[in-house]
A and B are shown apart, each in its own frame.
Chain A
């Protein structure tokens, strides 16, 4: 039972480079999320999706893009990496709207990104 899988686990980028953080879930969840975790700051929502083809901005979307072409996959794209994007990134998923109030969010193990 894989749950939410993120790749890569670690990455070092140079300023101005681009990369895609991959996230896939095998629980047939409708809702998916990208959060970033900065030291002492908790997790902040970057983007979320309520279903294939539907995405929306969270609290801190600048510098990122997402797409959701399938239920399973929700990649996060960094186009021009900046030092401020050094963080740990978590992908999460939940079952969906009808049970939204009580539904547990499942998290991936995270991607630790350093931009130098």
Chain B
């Protein structure tokens, strides 16, 4: 079945360091791909998305490119801030023609801690 695998955390970085969080997926067809962020004590918020191969999603300095050939959607940011400390989830939305129900399949989440 469809699945998402993320790099294990926690990831600890100093402020202004470069961030990469790896995400790979297994799915049939062409799923949509998402990154969600969860700040402490809050629900998940959409960070960025991509719906077809080679699309690049971007938001708040974060980027991820939908790579069909490597089935990957790695999250990157050039210079992290303390305020980026959160849990990051990679997710896919399977597409099954007319039976798309919008449900998401999540990776296990990666905790990012940014130190001043």
Residues of A bordering B, CB below 8 Å:
4, 31, 33, 35, 40-45, 48, 50, 56, 58, 90, 92, 94, 96-97, 100-105, 107-110
Q: Using an 8 Å CB-CB cutoff, how does the interface string of B84-116 with A read, 1 for contact, 0 for none?
A: 000001000101000011111111110000000
Name the one of A4, A41, A42, A45 contacting B103, with C-beta atoms under 8 angstroms: A45
Residue B46 lies at the interface, judged by CB distance under 8 Å to chain A: yes
Q: Are A101 and B107 in contact (CB under 8 A)?
A: no
Residue B43 lies at the interface, judged by CB distance under 8 Å to chain A: yes
Q: Are B51 and A58 in contact (CB under 8 A)?
A: no
Q: How many A-B residue pairs have CB under 8 A?
A: 69
Q: Are B43 and A90 in contact (CB under 8 A)?
A: yes
Name the one of B45, B49, B100, B109 contacting A42, with C-beta atoms under 8 angstroms: B109
Q: Are B43 and A101 in contact (CB under 8 A)?
A: no
- Interface centre among B42, B51, B101, by most chain A C-beta atoms within 10 angstroms, is B101
Minimum CB–CB distance from B4 to chain A (whole Å) comes to 8
**For residues 62 through 101 of chain B, which have their beta carbon under 8 Å from a beta carbon of chain A?**
89, 93, 95, 100-101
Give the chain A neighbours of B49 by CB distance below 8 A. Answer: 102, 104
